[in-house]
Structure 1
C-alpha cells in the first residue's frame, strides 16, 4: 500500500504536556466523569478505573459509554456505564449498560472483564444499540482482549432511556463459549424479528466488525484481516477505505473492507499503544487524533493533524495541553489523555460545525472536547467579545458560564482539589496589539489563580499569581522567578490593559496604578490564559506509574472563582 504521510510529525514530540504544538483555538473541554470514592455515591460510580469511552449522537442527544472497574484495568468486577447529554456539557448520572458477569476460574477471575472496541451501533432503521465484550483476565498482567473471552453482547437503547434485553451477538466459540454455558440468550432466539435483522445488518458490515478482531481472535474466516488493535477508518471514495490501528499501523482496502493490503507500520506516524481516531470531517478534510509519542505509559499530548486527501497530513496541533494529577492508584493506569474516539458511524450531525472527541485522562476520568476542525488551525482572533471565541477546560466540580451577555461577563468557579480550570482567548500572534478587560478574583481556598500570556507555542511569557492573601506575584517566562510582588484588590474589579509592539510588552493595572514592562524577544503573543490551578503536582515522563493515591481527592473543596468582563481588542 502507499504510505500515509504525516509531513510534520516524523519524530517524537517533546516532553511538555502540549508536546510543543500550538493548541487548536477555541477548543472546549468538559469533564464528563470525575472518579471518586465518595461513600455517598452509588456503588457503580465508585470505581476509579474509567476508560475506553465511546460516543454517539442520535435522538437529539449524546450517548457516552465507558468501562468502569473498581481500581485496576485487569481486576474485575467490571461493567459498562452509560451517560447521556443534550448539549455535551451537562451529563446525566451513569446507568449500567452491561453489568458484571460472574465466572469462576481462580482468585483473580471471579468475574468477566469488560472490553470494547465498538460501543455503539446505529442501524438503518435508526435504532441505537450498545455493545460490549465480556473478556477474561486470568491474572493481573493479562488483558481481556486476549481471545479467551466469552463473547460480544448487544442491547437496544431506546429514545426514552429504556434498555432492551441483553443478547450475545457473537460467541467466542473457539474459546469454548456458546449458548449452553452463557447467561444471556443468542440474538437469533429473540422474538423481535426487526432486532434480529439489525443484528444481521451489523454482522454483515465488514468495516464495523473489523473492530472486534483483537477481542475475538477467531480463525473462522469472519474477519477480513486477522491482525491489529483498535481499528478505526474512513472512506476516501465509494470503494477506497483507509484503516488505522495502534502503534502507527495502517492499510488500504479497495472493496469496502472485504480485503486489505498487508498491515504496515507507517514511519511518519509516531505513536505507541494509545488508540488513534480517524475521521472524515468533510469531503475534502480528514483528521487523525492520537498521542505523538513512543512512551506508552506517559501518553501526551493528544494531538490532531489534518489532510485534504486522507493520505498526506500537514500541520500538527495540540488538543489537550495539560495532564491532570492521577488521583488514584491502579494497575496499568497510564498517565495522560488517551483513547480518543469521535462519533460512531451513522450518528446524526450534532448542532454546529464541530468535531466531538471523547477520551480518558489517566484511565480514571472521562472528558469530551468540542473543537472546530472545519476551519484552518490559525490563531485568528475575533474583534467581538463572544463566548464562542473562548476556549476552556471545565472540570466536573467546576463551572464556566456567561452570566452577562451585554458586558460579556464570564464566571469561573473551581471546587476540585486537583483539577485545573482554564479559560483561554487567542490573539493570533500579531506584532502589535492591545487588549483590555476587567478581572475579579474571589479566592477562598489555598489555590493559585493565574493570569498568563503565552506565545504561539503555548510557552509562558509572563505569569501573574494571585494569592488568597491579596498578593500578586509576577514571574518570568524561564525559571518562573519572581520579578515583582504587589498587593492586589481582593473581591474587587480591576481594570487591565495589555499592549505590545514588536519585542516589548506592558501590563497595566489601572485602578491599582501599577505598570509592568517586559521584553518578548523573538516571541509573539498567542493567547491570554486565566486559570485556577490544581495542587502543584507536576506530571513528567519520570513520574512513576506505581504512585499511591492522592490525599483528600474524594470530595469537592471550598470554591475559588474569578470573573472576566468587557474583554476587547483595541485597534
Structure 2
C-alpha cells in the first residue's frame, strides 16, 4: 500500500510540474486555443460556422489535355504557393510538377493579378534544373526538383526578389540539396537573370559545378544590395532552414522545424509557428527562439499553419484542424486579441472538389496556406489574404475581411445596389472556381444583381449569406435562370453546423422542387429568362416546417422540414448538387486515370440572384 501511495504522489508531482510549466503565453505554451470547439470530420463544412464574407478564388485550374487553358505544360501537380503584393499587384508563386509530388520534372511558376480576382496566365520563373554536362545525378535520385518554403522578398531599397530551392528527387533537403536561387522581378513585369544566392551547406556545390552564377557576379548594385539585405536578415532567412540546416553557421537559431512563419505580439515578442502545432518565442526580434514546443490545443498534422497580425490590430491563425496528413480539410481560422489566446474556430474554406488527377502524395483538401510575409506588401483595404493549393493540383487565393466575425445581429437587406460591380460581394461567402464564377452585374434595365455562372463538370460556384440566427425565419429572394445545362441550382437554408432543413432546387428537368423527407417533390415548372420571387417561411420549433410562396402564390404549405435543427443562420445558393467527396475514407494513394472529361468545359449554366431579404425571431 505504501508503495502505491508513493507512486501516486510521484505521478501527482510530475503532473503538477507539467501543469505549472505550461504557462500560457510563455515559451512553454506560446499560443493556446481555448474555444473547445473541434470539427465534425464527416462533412466538408466540418460542423463549423463561417468566417463571414470570405471569398475563395481559383487562380489556376490544372488541365492535362488542354494545356493552353492552364499553364502551357499540362502538368497536374501544383502546390506550395507563396503570395506577395508589390507595384500595385498581387504575385503568386508555386511549384509545378508533371503529376507527382517530389518527382522530376518540377519547375516554379508565377502569376499576377491587379485585383485578386482576375489572374494572368502562368509563366515559368525558375525552369527545371539542367546540370552542367560533366555533373551526374547522385545514386538514388531520379532527377532534379524545386522545393518551396519562401517565394518573395521586397528589399528595403524597393527591389522585388523571387526565390526557390533546387534539389534532387525524391528528397531535396540538406545533403540532397543544391542551393537557393534568386532573380529580380522588374516593375515592367520582366525578370532578371537567375543566380544562386546560397549553396547547400552540406554539399560541395559551388559556381564551378552548378548551372547558374553566384549572385555576387551581378553588376547591378541595387540587386546586390537587395540580396545582401536578405542574407543578413536572420528572421526571414530562417524560412530556409528546413532545406539547408546551415552546418556552416549561417543561421542564428539551429532548432527550427518545418515551414516557419512568424508574427510579432503586442508585448514585442515574436511568435514562431511551424507545421504540426510547433510554436516558440523570440525576445530579440527573431534572431533566436526558444525551443519549439507542441501547442497541443491546435490539432493539426502535416499541413502548414499560418499566423499574422490583421489590419484591425488583432491576430489570426489558419490551419487544417485535424490530425490527418492525407485529408487536409477544412481550412479553418481562429482569432485572438493578444496573439496568445485564440478562440472561435471558423471556416475559411469548406468546398473540397473531387481530385481529377491521381498522383503520388497528392493529399486532399486546401493545402499549405500562406499569407503575405511581413515586408512583402500590403494590399489596399483591410482584408487578410492567403493562398493555398487544392488537392495539390489547383491553385487558389482567399480574401478574409477583417474584423473576422461569424455572427450577424440585424436583418439582411441585400439588393446589391450599394455594391460596386468591380468590387467585392460584401458579407457573402463566395466559392469561385475559374470555370464557375460569381460576380455582380447590371441587367439591361440597370438592375444590379449577383450572377453565378458554371461551366465546370467537377466543381460549382457557391454563394452563402450568413444572417441573424433564429428559430423562425422569413427569407425572400429572386432567382432568374439565364442558361441551363444538366446541373441543378440549389437553395438551402442551414443551421450553424451545415444541416439543411430547407432544400429547394431548380432541377435539370425544368421543375422547381423541394425536398420532402428523402424525396424531391415538384412544385412548378420554370422558364429561362424569367424572374421568380420566393418567400420561404420556416420554423425550427418542434420537428420544423416551412412554406414556399412563389410570385405571391402559396405553392407549398407546412412542409415537414428535411431535418430537425435548433435554429438556422445562413442561406446557400449553389450551381450544382452538394459534393461531400472526397471523404475521410476516400483512398488517397491511387493510380486511377483522370476523371472522365476532367479537362472539358460543360455547357454554360447561369443564374441571377437578387433582393435577398431575411428576418428572424426566436419565438
TM-score > 0.5, shorter chain as reference:
yes
**Structure 1 position 132 matched with structure 2 position 164:** yes
Is the alpha carbon distance of 1:468 and 1:493 closer, same or farther for their aligned partners in structure 2, counting shifts above 3 Å? same
For residue 431 of structure 2, what is the aligned residue in structure 1? 393
Q: Secondary structure at the match of 1:214?
A: coil
* 2:285 maps to which of 256, 260, 263: 256
- Report the Cα offset of residue 511 of structure 1: 6.0
The answer (yes or no) to whether the contact 1:33–1:365 under 8 Å persists in 2 is yes
- Residue matched to 2:28: 2
CA apart distance, 1:501: 4.8
Query: How far apart are the structure 2 equivalents of 1:410 and 1:334?
Result: 33
- Which residues in structure 2 correspond to 1:39-188 (within 5 Å)? 39=66, 41=68, 44-103=72-131, 104-105=136-137, 109=141, 111-137=143-169, 142-188=170-216
**Does residue 538 of structure 2 align to residue 509 of structure 1?**
no
Residue 244 of structure 2 is aligned to residue 216 of structure 1 = yes
Give the Cα separation in 1 of the matches to 2:537 and 2:566: 14
State the partner residue of 1:481.
518
Query: Is the CA contact 1:51–1:366 (under 8 Å) kept in the aligned structure 2?
Result: yes
Q: Distance in 2 between matches of 1:454 and 1:539?
A: 22
Cα 1:534/1:49, change in 2 over 3 Å: farther
- 1:339 alignment partner in structure 2: 368
TM value normalised by structure 2:
0.86
2:422 corresponding residue in structure 1 = none
Range with bigger deviation, 345-354 or 261-270: 345-354
Comparing 388-397 and 159-168, the one that deviates more: 388-397
- Larger deviation, residues 227-236 vs 99-108: 99-108
CA contact (8 A) 1:10 1:270 kept: no
Count how many residue pairs are aligned between Structure 1 and Structure 2.
564
Query: Are 1:554 and 2:583 matched, yes or no?
Result: no
Q: Post-superposition shift, 1:289? A: 0.3
1:73 Cα shift?
0.9
State the shift of 1:105 in Å: 1.9
- Aligned-pair CA distance for 1:106: 6.6
Q: C-alpha separation between the residues in 1 aligned to 2:307 and 2:213?
A: 34
Aligned to 1:470: 510
> Do the aligned partners of residues 147 and 294 (structure 1) sit closer, same or farther apart at CA in structure 2, a change above 3 Å counting?
farther
Partner of residue 436, structure 1: 476
SS of residue paired to 1:259: coil
Give the 3-state SS of the residue equivalent to 1:377 in structure 2.
Answer: coil
Following TM superposition, by how much is the alpha carbon of 1:344 offset from its aligned partner in structure 2, in angstroms?
2.5
Aligned partner of 2:569 in structure 1 is: 526
Structure 2 residue aligned with 1:313: 342
The secondary structure found in structure 2 opposite 1:247 is: helix
Q: Determine if contact 1:10/1:267 at 8 Å carries over to the other structure.
A: no
Q: Give the match for residue 257 of structure 2.
A: 228
Tell whether the 8 Å contact from 1:277 to 1:290 is kept in structure 2 after alignment. yes
2:238 aligned with 1:206, yes or no? no
Distance 1:431 1:371 in 2: 28
Q: How far is the alpha carbon of 1:442 from its aligned partner?
A: 4.4
The match for 1:19 is 46
Segments of structure 1 that go 5 or more residues without pairing to the other structure are none
Q: Which structure 2 segments of 5+ residues have no match? A: 1-26, 417-424
**Structure 2: how far apart are the matches of 1:108 and 1:102?**
18
Residue 298 (structure 2) aligned to one of 256, 269, 277: 269
Instruction: Please state how far the C-alpha of 1:45 moved relative to its aligned partner.
Output: 4.0
Q: Distance in 1 between matches of 2:347 and 2:82?
A: 21
Q: Residue 529 of structure 1 aligns to a residue in which SS?
A: strand
* 2: CA distance, partners of 1:11 / 1:530: 26
Query: Retained in 1: the 8 A contact 2:265–2:338?
Result: yes
C-alpha distance in structure 2 between counterparts of 1:228 and 1:438, whole Å: 52
Q: Matches of 1:515 and 1:178 in 2, distance apart?
A: 76
Whole-angstrom distance in 2 between the partners of 1:25 and 1:555 = 33
Once residues 236 and 469 of structure 1 are traced to their aligned partners in structure 2, the CA distance between those partners, rounded to angstroms, is: 57
The Cα of 1:537 is off from its aligned counterpart by 7.1
Structure 2 Cα separation of the partners of residues 90 and 239 of structure 1: 38
Residues 296-320 of structure 1 deviation map (CA, whole Å, 9 limit, x = unaligned): 0001110000111111101110111
Task: Give 1 or 2 for the bigger CA radius of gyration.
Answer: 2
- Alpha-carbon shift at residue 535 of structure 1 (Å): 8.8
Per-residue deviation, 1:80: 0.6
Q: Tell me whether 1:292 sits opposite 2:321 in the alignment.
A: yes
Matches of 2:63 and 2:524, distance apart in 1: 37
Is contact 1:458-1:526 (8 Å) kept? no
Q: Which moved more, 1:527-536 or 1:359-368?
A: 527-536
CA–CA separation in structure 2 for the residues paired with 1:144 and 1:429:
50
Distance 2:100 2:284 in 1: 40
Residue 430 of structure 1: CA displacement? 2.8
Q: SS where residue 208 of structure 2 aligns?
A: helix
Q: Deviation at 1:412?
A: 1.1
Alpha-carbon distance in structure 2 between the residues aligned to 1:40 and 1:249: 39
Report if the CA contact (8 A) 2:41-2:584 is conserved: no
Query: C-alpha distance in 2, partners of 1:44/1:179?
Result: 31
Question: In the alignment, which residue of structure 1 is the partner of 2:584?
Answer: 541
CA distance in structure 2 between the partners assigned to 1:527 and 1:537 by the alignment: 19
Q: 1:257: Cα distance to partner?
A: 1.6
Q: Could you tell which deviates more after superposition, 248-257 or 424-433?
A: 424-433
Deviation at 1:448, TM superposition (A): 2.5
Tell me if 1:38 matches 2:65.
yes
Deviation at 1:437, TM superposition (A): 1.6
Q: Please, what TM-score do these two structures have when normalized by structure 1?
A: 0.93
